[in-house]
Amino acid sequence: METTSHTAGATMRTLILLAACAAACSAPARSAARAPAADTATRPAPVRGGHAGVDLSGSWVTGSTGEPAATRIELQPQCNYTPGFWELQQSGDTLRAWRIPESYARGVATPVTAPSIPAEGMVSGMDVVIGTAGSRYQLRYDSTSGHLHGTLNGAPFWAVRVDIVRRRDCIPVP
């Protein structure tokens, strides 16, 4: 009897997963057209010139106030915690950005979520523009501090490179 109950539970989870995938795949595609952002007056958008003056690939912590003075930050989170961060991947002058939310490993299965779609942008010299349907970053890399400074939808924004160092004595979550 217990085997049948276990099999039925596994079948139900599979059906729920398939339904979620079908719903995600049948969702209407977003329009590629984007409305112009109102914050473009703060700094003219860089012209796509094909030359990036810096490689921004890696992990970054971000904020709008309380910018740290350090060029790079090292975080040593507790065993079951992953802090939120921004992951940038650069190829030439093309930039892709993922916002990775903070999370806690609890040893319990979490709902399946759709894969993260990166925001896309470009780097021209030391200037960076990243735009999505709801967000527009206009940034400049500061070679002295190693930080990105600028705006997110017209509000102050900064980003600092981060190294997330995992403890080696953690007990794996079951």
pLDDT of 17 above 70: no
Q: What percent of the chain has pLDDT over 70?
A: 68
List the single range of 98-102, 139-143, 151-155 with lowest mean pLDDT. Answer: 98-102
- pLDDT score of 48: 53
Distances, alpha carbon 151 to alpha carbons 24, 51, 125, 167, in Å: 32, 22, 17, 34
Report the chain's mean pLDDT, rounded to a whole number: 77
- pLDDT score of 116: 78
CATH 2.40.128 fits 47-164, yes or no: yes
> Stretch 136-153: mean pLDDT, rounded?
96
- pLDDT score of 33: 36
- pLDDT score of 117: 85
Q: Of 112, 117, 114, 162, which is closest to residue 135 (Cα–Cα)?
A: 117
pLDDT of 9 above 70: no
Q: How large is the C-alpha radius of gyration of the chain?
A: 21
Q: Are 160 and 154 contacting, i.e. CB atoms less than 8 angstroms apart?
A: no
Q: Highest mean pLDDT range out of 12-26, 38-52, 86-100, 114-128?
A: 86-100
Q: How far apart are CA 124 and CA 115, in angstroms?
A: 28
Give the pLDDT band (50/70/90) at residue 120. Answer: very high
Give the pLDDT band (50/70/90) at residue 4. Answer: very low
